[in-house]
Amino acid sequence: MVDFATRLQTMPVRAEVPGGLLRGELRDASEVVISFGGDGYYRTTEADLERQLVNLCRLLVVAWTRGYWDALSEAAGHRIASEPAPYSEASAEYRTARDALVVTGRSADGHLTITYDPTNDGWQATIQPGTLTALSEEDFVTAARQASRELYARRRQQIVALKLEIFGRDARKNAEPR
């Protein structure tokens, strides 16, 4: 029997933006691997690709969230579709702080930055001017993978730090699950 954490880590999460220009897959709950439909990479602009990346991020979050609640429901034996009410002041404080975390990931070459900022319309993607000319499709896919990997790693670090700050040394035992 696979434990719940392993199931979440290996859960298949895929999305495609309308029109099929861009597809993405969340792998190991730690990175997103993108691919382009046809010759879409060579027919787009930085501004359009930024919008497509933001849409893909939103779609991947929706797919992951549905998968999370489905897996949790299956493990519990009944339907669960949202978090229960906070069980303490610390729990409420944690959720409020968690839901306000801003996280950014950048590619190693600096061509791509992806940010999640819940106070500023959620997802943002910034592609440096000239990137689509400077990078091949394969290099851009690598840059996106690097940026997503950094974003997920920083998010995990933020969550651990937040749990330690709010719940103290027994954070693993007393903290909210995510």
Percentage of the residues of the chain whose pLDDT score is greater than 90: 73
Place of tokens 């409020």: 96
For the chain, what are the domain ranges? Answer: 4-174
pLDDT tens track for 29-77: 888 999 999 899 999 999 999 999 999 999 999 999 999 999 889 888 9
User: Encoding tokens for residue 99?
Assistant: 């839901």
Q: Look at 160 and 9; give whichever has higher pLDDT.
A: 160
For the segment 150-178, the average pLDDT, to the nearest whole number, is 80
Is residue 176 pLDDT above 60, yes or no? Answer: no
CB of 62 closer than 8 Å to CB of 13:
no
Residue type, 31: E
pLDDT at 55: 96
pLDDT at 7: 81
pLDDT at 6: 83
Phi, psi of 116 (to 5 degrees): -115, 115
Phi, psi of 41 (to 5 degrees): -60, -35
pLDDT at 127: 98
pLDDT tens track for 110-141: 999 999 999 888 999 999 999 999 999 999 99
Residues 6+ apart with CB under 8 A from 167: 90, 94, 174, 175
Segment among 17-26, 91-100, 143-152, 162-171 with least mean pLDDT: 162-171
